[in-house]
Structure 1
Amino acid sequence: MSMNALTATTRNFRYASRLLGLDAKLETSLLLPFREIKVECTFPKDDGSLKSHVGFRVQHDNARGPMKGGIRYHHKVDIDEVKALAQLMSWKTAVMNLPYGGAKGGIDCTPNELSKSELERLTRVFTQKLHDVIGTNLDVPAPDMGTNSQTMAWILDEYSKFHGYSPACVTGKPLELGGSLGRESATGHGVAISTEALLNDHGKSIKDSTFVIQGYGNVGSWAAKMIYEKGGKIVAVSDVTGAVKNPNGINILELSLHRGKGRKLSDFNGGETMDPNDLLFQECDVLIPCALGGVIDSYNAGDVKAKFIIEAANHPTDPEADEILYKRGVVILPDIYANAGGVTVSYFEWVQNIQGFMWEEEAVNRNLHKYMKQAFNDIKAMCHTHNCSLRMGAFALGLERVARATVLRGWECNGGEGGNGGKKEGHQWLRLRWMVKKKDEGLGMEFVYY
């Protein structure tokens, strides 16, 4: 059974905290969310009856800038999942060195059971409940599982009714409403860039490697397209309708045309149908899970045959599975880096909206490549400093940057709420001064008591 996402994420956080040697009180402050919001979203259905769904928004940290994170519509959305994803966003934006904190939201609904007009009414009610605590300089939502650019357009319109036209209040919008060129493909594009960086670091290349992609949605399809264009051989893919394999390589252009006509993946004649449950265990060089979290756990990790795993999904590998695979020599590129292309181009969109000046797609893609490559180099440097895995290197990098920003802003504890804006209770205070030591051992902390 897969570990709870919040438990798994917190475990990785604590490992990284120990690696950095953070003070226990600062660690607790960084772990606790800034704000948790739970709202009841009641709206009229097309038949006139009332329907209600629970919505969540967890704002984890804002030490480095406005909080940032997607909104997902899925029937399994719950507060623990949203808290885990919000925390991951804090470390992800820091890993990419974006001036953001982390947040996440969701509604426990099944989108395909609602009409377009019902989805619009649900989204507008959700926005009405949140509009005072989101916005350009507070918390900037984006699309996620079950939502898209149309959803963001509704949020923008509803938010603007209260605050005036505010295109930078949300990203992932349609181009006509201030969206960015390259945003739709951004996460998949980032996956392809990060995959190439990892393979090159190991003396390999995309064109000499075989790939298996689980989840042929927006992220998986764009990643597959870009890997295919670079000469990679994709031997198996899956989505919610089924799975197809072809040891000689699947023609991704033909598959995209097939899926673009609304046809099922399982009906594609460019390969042999297979059980989607077996996809993770196919022979390949690189496995790219792009679907739900927790798909690789301690029970099936031993059956994974890939040499590299690129985590395009959020939290696809449990910590126990991570340890098993690490001991087997499987190299895992963690989600807080591998799927960060989306939030990076969301940042570019936010910047364009604030400036009132839109970029050409070539500029978006060029800057995405620059940010992804720099982040990979930063992670590798952290791995070298602490002699750790890529996951711990990425977590340590993100955590170190958030911790530094928190301390520089005047972090205080001992009776307060912790984090940003703790109340001054009691007479003794612990202040931590972050000291950057220009030595091989990397970063250290100096504790100063008053």
Structure 2
Amino acid sequence: MEHKIEPLYDGPLFRNAIQTLDEAAKIINCDPNILERLKRPRRCITVSVPVRMDDHSVKVFTGYRVQYSPTLGPYKGGIRYHQNVDLSEVVGLAALMTFKNSVLGLPLGGAKGGITVDPTKLSRTEKQNLTRRYASEIGPFVGPTKDIPAPDVGTDPQTMAWFMDTYSQEQGGFAQPGVVTGKPVEIGGSLGRNHATGLGVVYVAEKAFEVCNMSMKGASIAIQGFGNVGSFAAKFAHERGARIVAVSDVSGGIFNGDGLDINEVNEYIKAHKFLKGYPKAQPISNEELLEVKCDALFPCALENQIDTHNAEKIQAKIIVEGANGPITNAATKILHKRGVFIAPDVIANGGGVIVSYFEWVQDTMSYFWDEDEVNGRLKGIITKAFDKGYSLAKEKNIDMRSAAMAVSVQRLERAMLLRGLYPR
């Protein structure tokens, strides 16, 4: 029987996730009852977020928290502030978090949150008011043993500090650092968390180069998105001897075939906020960056950047997905047929949630690790997940996305069958 997606949360990202799930389920011959349960979020929360603006007017924003699956542990997933946030996107992202936490072997379920707002148009005070009211609205549904949010697009450690403080005040005033991750180190954050996703992308890229019999040293890499993930991925790849030939942000991209000086680019952004106008490179669009001739492409921006319209034009030999869902399912098939190796998002951008898990563990124990230990443990978990996915991909002669999803679904299936269905 064909599964029909609930119209309320039917959108391209979620449809894509369900299609990938269906294919993974066939690979492992998943129990049909389990598959039906995995196709629906457990809980979708929509909240009204009224905020007094700096001009004393009151604006009302819409906030979401989708708790997709708690099978493996407390819900875990970021909070996104972006003008295009809607329920279908948040459901899709929450589904991806569920599969990501499972394939990475973490004892966490999947969730995602967001507010439909352009954060660049808010003052610091307005952003704080928005965050605190949103935290208060979803407060009854979150907590260190229930649901642990984290930063995502448009949010940062400061946002998490405000969220944690609001939750703590409403729980009696004492600090509850375990309610969110991605916090500043001074209030219970983990060393290594800020750069974790970008570093994880590079650890996975090293594995991808290895299995493709290539070396990262001297390789040309193009990076779409120069926010937290893309900028750190560029830094760590550059340090390993890679030639970063193109990077981009919302203002557009820059290209230099001889390689960009990443330290100089970072200094330019500190001074000018955006890449636009960087003098030592040729300007290109975000779309053109994806089609640059290079050894590896890291899409680290938003979802659905590579689809059937541009999949044939991609010239990279390796793609490492730093963003969530940057390649559609149909485009994955085209690229796989063309021999392009894809390291999928559920593994490749898992560094953030892995170190978020470490942060939660450290907060729970009130015992903190040094940065080398954090980075070393991150490498161990993310490369183990890559090896598991790659082993199944070789065994079944399938692409890495299908293999990673199959590993993920198999772990969820076993756990759900062991736990049973309540009530019977």
TM class by smaller structure:
over 0.9
**Residues 1:279 and 2:289 are matched in the alignment:** yes
Count of residue pairs brought into register by the alignment:
412
| Structure 1 CA distance for aligned equivalents of residues 317 and 248 of structure 2 | 19
**Residues 1:204 and 2:214 are matched in the alignment:** yes
| Structure 1 CA distance for aligned equivalents of residues 155 and 274 of structure 2 | 21
Question: Aligned-residue CA RMSD in angstroms?
Answer: 1.2
1:130-184 CA-partner distances (Å, limit 9, x unpaired): 1111111111000000000011001100101122421011000011111111111
**Structure 2 match to 1:188:** 198
**Structure 2 match to 1:336:** 346
**Residues 1:50 and 2:93 are matched in the alignment:** no
Structure number with greater Rg is: 1
Q: Which residue of 116, 123, 130 corresponds with 1:122?
A: 130
Asked if structure 1 preserves the Cα contact closer than 8 Å seen for 2:31 and 2:413, the reply is: no
Instruction: State the SS of the aligned residue for 2:272.
Output: coil
Matches within 5 A, 1:8-27: 8-27=16-35
| Structure 2 CA distance for aligned equivalents of residues 141 and 86 of structure 1 | 11
Asked if structure 1 preserves the Cα contact closer than 8 Å seen for 2:95 and 2:110, the reply is: yes
**Structure 2 match to 1:383:** 393
**Residues 1:363 and 2:373 are matched in the alignment:** yes
**Equivalent position amino acid for 2:209 in 1:** L
Matches within 5 A, 1:44-443: 44-163=52-171, 164-409=174-419, 411-412=420-421, 422-424=422-424
**Unaligned segments of structure 2, at least 5 residues:** 1-10
| Structure 1 CA distance for aligned equivalents of residues 33 and 396 of structure 2 | 22
Asked if structure 2 preserves the Cα contact closer than 8 Å seen for 1:251 and 1:270, the reply is: no
Instruction: State the SS of the aligned residue for 1:265.
Output: coil
**Structure 1 match to 2:8:** none
**Equivalent position amino acid for 1:178 in 2:** G
Q: What's the CA shift for 1:382?
A: 2.2
Give aligned-pair identity as a percent: 42
Q: What's the CA shift for 1:263?
A: 4.4
Q: What's the CA shift for 1:201?
A: 1.4
Asked if structure 2 preserves the Cα contact closer than 8 Å seen for 1:255 and 1:270, the reply is: no
| Structure 2 CA distance for aligned equivalents of residues 263 and 121 of structure 1 | 24
Asked if structure 2 preserves the Cα contact closer than 8 Å seen for 1:40 and 1:54, the reply is: yes
Instruction: State the SS of the aligned residue for 1:140.
Output: strand
**Structure 1 match to 2:39:** 31
Asked if structure 1 preserves the Cα contact closer than 8 Å seen for 2:79 and 2:114, the reply is: yes
TM-score (structure 1 length as normaliser): 0.90
| Structure 1 CA distance for aligned equivalents of residues 154 and 348 of structure 2 | 20
**Equivalent position amino acid for 2:266 in 1:** S
Instruction: State the SS of the aligned residue for 1:107.
Output: strand
Asked if structure 1 preserves the Cα contact closer than 8 Å seen for 2:208 and 2:341, the reply is: no
| Structure 1 CA distance for aligned equivalents of residues 14 and 273 of structure 2 | 36
Instruction: State the SS of the aligned residue for 1:219.
Output: helix
Q: 4+ residue stretches of structure 1 with deviation over 6 A?
A: none
Instruction: State the SS of the aligned residue for 1:343.
Output: helix
| Structure 2 CA distance for aligned equivalents of residues 385 and 328 of structure 1 | 20
**Structure 1 match to 2:48:** 40
Asked if structure 2 preserves the Cα contact closer than 8 Å seen for 1:297 and 1:317, the reply is: yes
Q: What's the CA shift for 1:205?
A: 1.3
Instruction: State the SS of the aligned residue for 2:76.
Output: strand
Q: What's the CA shift for 1:407?
A: 1.3
1:293-334 CA-partner distances (Å, limit 9, x unpaired): 101010111111111111101101111111111111111111
**Equivalent position amino acid for 1:53 in 2:** F
| Structure 2 CA distance for aligned equivalents of residues 210 and 197 of structure 1 | 16
